[in-house]
């Protein structure tokens, strides 16, 4: 009733800064032989430590569901155990404002995703310490990819708002935050896939290219979903970086330049630009820029499609209730392929019971052309070129 929509569980390993017990070393957690639980069901902390954060997240999620009248809730936890993804998002804890911690973030989050915990993120800009303008700009670019995109810093540090670092950094942050909002239909579909199949949202290249041994050693490039690959910059003063493109056709997100993998390239990466690439046949839904998620209805949509062979399903629901569990959702499959010199886009009839108002859809085949239509949920076949 007072506007609480979510709960943030911190230091729930549990960690305690003011310890009521003896010295016991430099740890900030309970002694492993500390008794816990009621007399008739007592155990040592050694047996309950890993369950503490999990059960705390579970209790918060279930409690919020009881008091919020069928509305989805948000729980964020620092600690957890196998299964925590059913109740909570997770952030990786108190990182530092260091280039090395920026570089560490993607492999950490990819490993979490591969372990079944897909809704993850870390503190953009670093929690402890003071980020520089360059570091913060680069971190915001990477943070745009995090399933949980969240800035944070400790009370004792310098302010980490984008405008603190000057107009150039502020503009870079604005552009990548806007891009995040534009990608939300694509990202929301990835969340649906994670919830229904366990597929990670943020993926190492080896996930889609398991036979390419080069990808086994690539921790500094990442795929957001099946189609969008990023090669961020993790060092100060760097304006170019090596990028590996696995087998297949790849397109530069910014310029449309086409490459045929497998190959290594030297990518242009001035401070304003994080190298981004899309697989041939990639299909990405683009929404108008918003200031917050529910600011406006999605009454127009752009489907950006890169020439090649591929398919992708756009998932939609009301975004706030549990009606999707009763079949009130919508799914639209898009398929692209070549037919001679032509590019064909097939749009299947919309499935599901979620009602979507008729809207303007623009289908753009990058480098070929675009077509518009009023989307009423019916099947369509579009020809380009």
Q: Could you report the per-residue pLDDT of 32-45, keeping only the tens digit for each? A: 888 988 999 999 98
The candidate with the shortest Cα–Cα distance to 88, out of 12, 181, 185, is: 12
pLDDT higher than 90, residue 27? no
Task: Look at residue 20 in the predicted model and tell me its pLDDT.
Answer: 59
pLDDT in tens, 188-215: 999 999 999 999 999 999 999 999 999 9
Residues 296 and 274 in one domain: no
The answer to the question of residue 206 being in a domain is: yes
Instruction: Provide the percentage of residues in the chain whose pLDDT is more than 70.
Output: 97
Q: How confident is the model at residue 4 (pLDDT cuts 50, 70, 90)?
A: confident
Q: Are residues 91 and 218 in the same domain?
A: no
Task: Check residue 34 and give its pLDDT.
Answer: 86
Mean pLDDT of the chain: 94
CA distances from 250 to 77, 278, 281 (A): 37, 6, 9
Residues 232-276: tens digit of each pLDDT: 999 999 999 999 999 999 999 999 999 999 999 999 999 999 999
SS3 call for 132? coil
Q: How far is CA 22 from the centre of its chain?
A: 42
* Over residues 133-154, mean pLDDT: 97
Instruction: Specify the range with the lowest mean pLDDT, choosing from 3-17, 80-94, 258-272, 370-384.
Output: 3-17
- Regarding whether 138 and 73 lie in a shared domain, the answer is yes
- Count how many domains the chain has: 3
Specify whether 114 is located in the same domain as 43: yes
Is 194 inside a domain boundary? no
Q: Which bin fits 376, alpha (ψ -120 to 50), beta or left (φ > 0)?
A: alpha
The span from the CA of 171 to the CA of 160, in Å, is 15
Catalytic residue positions? 10, 13, 94
Residue 69 confidence (pLDDT): 85
- pLDDT for 250 equals 99
In this prediction, residue 2 has a pLDDT band, given cuts at 50, 70 and 90, of: confident
Q: What is the mean pLDDT of residues 115-140?
A: 97
Query: Are 60 and 133 in the same domain?
Result: yes
The per-residue pLDDT for range 69-96, each reduced to its tens digit, is 899 999 999 999 999 999 999 999 999 9
> Residue 22 pLDDT more than 70?
no
Structural domain boundaries, residue 162? 6-183
Res 13: pLDDT:
87
- Concatenated DSSP letters of 313-334: EEEE--SSBSGGGGT--EEEEE
Same domain as 372, residue 301:
yes
Q: Does 167 share its domain with 216?
A: no
CATH number at residue 241: 2.60.40.1180
Q: Residue 262, preceding bond cis, omega within 30 degrees?
A: yes
Residues 291 and 355 in one domain: yes
Q: Residue 50 belongs to what H/E stretch?
A: helix 45-67
Q: Is 84 in the same domain as 126?
A: yes
CATH of the domain at 179: 3.20.20.80
In a domain, 196, yes or no: no
The last residue of one of the domains, among 279, 305, 339, is 279
- Tell me: do 106 and 223 sit in the same domain: no
The reply to whether 273 falls in a domain is yes
The yes-or-no verdict on residue 19 having pLDDT over 80 is no
Answer yes or no: is 332 within a domain.
Answer: yes
* pLDDT tens-digit series, residues 270-319: 999 999 999 999 999 999 999 999 888 889 999 999 999 999 999 999 99
Which helix (H) or strand (E) segment is 169 a member of?
Answer: helix 167-182
> Does residue 193 fall inside a structural domain?
no
Residues 103 and 179 in one domain: yes
Report whether 122 contacts 109 (CB < 8 A): yes
| All residues at 6 or more sequence positions from 222 whose CB lies less than 8 Å from its CB, including other chains | 106, 110, 145, 202, 203, 204, 205, 229, 230, 232
Q: Who wins on pLDDT, 46 or 118?
A: 118
């Amino acid at each position: 009733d007072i506007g609480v929509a979510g709960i943030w569980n911190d230091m729930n390993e549990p960690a305690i800064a003011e310890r009521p017990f003896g010295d016991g070393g430099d740890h900030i957690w309970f002694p492993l032989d500390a008794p816990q639980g009621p007399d008739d069901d007592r155990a040592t902390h050694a047996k309950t430590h890993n369950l503490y954060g999990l059960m705390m997240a579970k209790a918060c999620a279930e409690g919020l569901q009881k008091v919020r009248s069928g509305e989805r809730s948000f729980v964020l936890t620092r600690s957890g155990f196998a299964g925590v993804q059913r109740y909570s998002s997770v952030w990786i804890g108190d990182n530092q404002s260091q280039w090395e911690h920026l570089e560490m973030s993607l492999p950490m989050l990819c490993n979490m995703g591969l372990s079944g915990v897909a809704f993850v993120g870390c503190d953009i800009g670093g929690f402890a310490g003071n980020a520089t303008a360059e570091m913060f700009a680069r971190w915001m670019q990477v943070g745009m990819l995090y399933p949980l995109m969240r800035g944070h810093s400790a009370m004792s540090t310098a302010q980490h708002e984008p405008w603190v670092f000057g107009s150039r950094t502020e503009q870079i942050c604005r552009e990548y935050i806007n891009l995040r909002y534009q990608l939300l239909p694509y990202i929301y579909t990835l969340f649906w896939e994670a919830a229904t199949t366990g597929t990670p949202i943020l993926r190492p290249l080896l996930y889609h290219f398991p036979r390419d041994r080069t990808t086994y050693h690539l921790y500094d490039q990442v795929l957001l979903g099946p189609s969008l690959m990023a090669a961020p910059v993790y060092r100060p003063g760097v304006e170019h970086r090596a990028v590996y493109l696995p087998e297949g056709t790849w397109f530069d997100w910014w310029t449309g330049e086409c490459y045929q993998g497998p190959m290594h390239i030297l990518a242009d990466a001035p401070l304003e630009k994080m190298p981004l690439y899309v697989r041939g046949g990639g299909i990405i839904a683009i929404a108008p820029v918003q200031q917050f998620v529910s600011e406006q209805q999605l009454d127009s949509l752009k489907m950006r499609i890169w020439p090649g062979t591929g398919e992708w399903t756009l998932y939609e629901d009301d975004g706030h209730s549990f009606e999707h569990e009763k079949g009130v959702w919508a799914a639209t499959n898009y398929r692209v392929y070549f037919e001679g010199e032509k590019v064909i886009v097939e749009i299947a009839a919309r499935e599901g019971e979620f009602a979507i108002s008729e809207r303007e859809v623009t289908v753009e085949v990058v480098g070929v052309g675009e077509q518009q239509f009023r989307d009423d949920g019916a099947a369509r076949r579009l020809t380009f070129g």
